[in-house]
Amino acid sequence: MARGILTEPLTRDAFAPFGDVIETSGDPTMIINQGKCGRYHDLAALDMAGANARAGISLFLSEKRTLPYLLEMVERHPLGSQAFLPMTQAAFLVIVCPDDNGKPGHPRAFITEPGQGINLHRNIWHGVLTPLSDPGLFSVVDRIGDGDNLEEFRFEEPYEVVRGS
């Protein structure tokens, strides 16, 4: 039997313990390009640790998932933050867990609004990329460098993520 998790809307306050919501909320930080463009400035805390570490841009092209979604494992990156910036105007699912003595605690599942991206802080437990529509194409800003930057955890009993709102 899978344990149920209800999805929540993605907001900065709710997501603050896990990372940054990258969105155009409120007024732009500055207006550029002869008044034709708003810049929302420096929205993510990039954090690249360890040997020869730097930020890089990669693309992820993922199969879409559907709700209800069976969550069997999570992972974390001890050496770097990881930002997911959708290249479509579609919602995606973001699963994160607080840490509980080195293991993932009870998961939370967020559904983005179109136009929202996220930056997972370093070492935050999270589910793999889960777009909810095709194409599941994302720009990813994460750590390029040496060292083991992946830890995985498989739940003894999976969770079932169900749309909550």
- Residues within the interface to a second copy (CB under 8 A): 22-24, 28-29, 32-34, 36-44, 46, 54-63, 83, 85-89, 115, 117, 119, 128-129, 135-137, 139-141, 144
Closest approach of a second copy to the CB of residue 83, in Å: 6
Rounded Cα distance, 50 and 40, in Å: 29
Closest approach of a second copy to the CB of residue 59, in Å: 4
User: With respect to a second copy, which residue has the nearer C-beta, 29 or 146?
Assistant: 29
User: With respect to a second copy, which residue has the nearer C-beta, 27 or 157?
Assistant: 27
Kindly state the tokens that stand for 142: 């994460």
Phi first, then psi, for residue 14 (nearest 5°) are -65, -30
For residue 15, the surrounding DSSP H or E stretch is helix 12-15
Q: Helix or strand or coil: residue 52?
A: coil
User: With respect to a second copy, which residue has the nearer C-beta, 63 or 100?
Assistant: 63
User: With respect to a second copy, which residue has the nearer C-beta, 87 or 162?
Assistant: 87
Rounded Cα distance, 150 and 38, in Å: 36
For residue 102, the surrounding DSSP H or E stretch is none
User: With respect to a second copy, which residue has the nearer C-beta, 132 or 164?
Assistant: 132
Closest approach of a second copy to the CB of residue 50, in Å: 16
Of 102, 142, 143, nearest in space to 125 by CA: 102
Closest approach of a second copy to the CB of residue 110, in Å: 18
- DSSP letters for 56-84: EEEEEEE----SSEEEEEEEE-TTB-EEE
Closest approach of a second copy to the CB of residue 154, in Å: 11
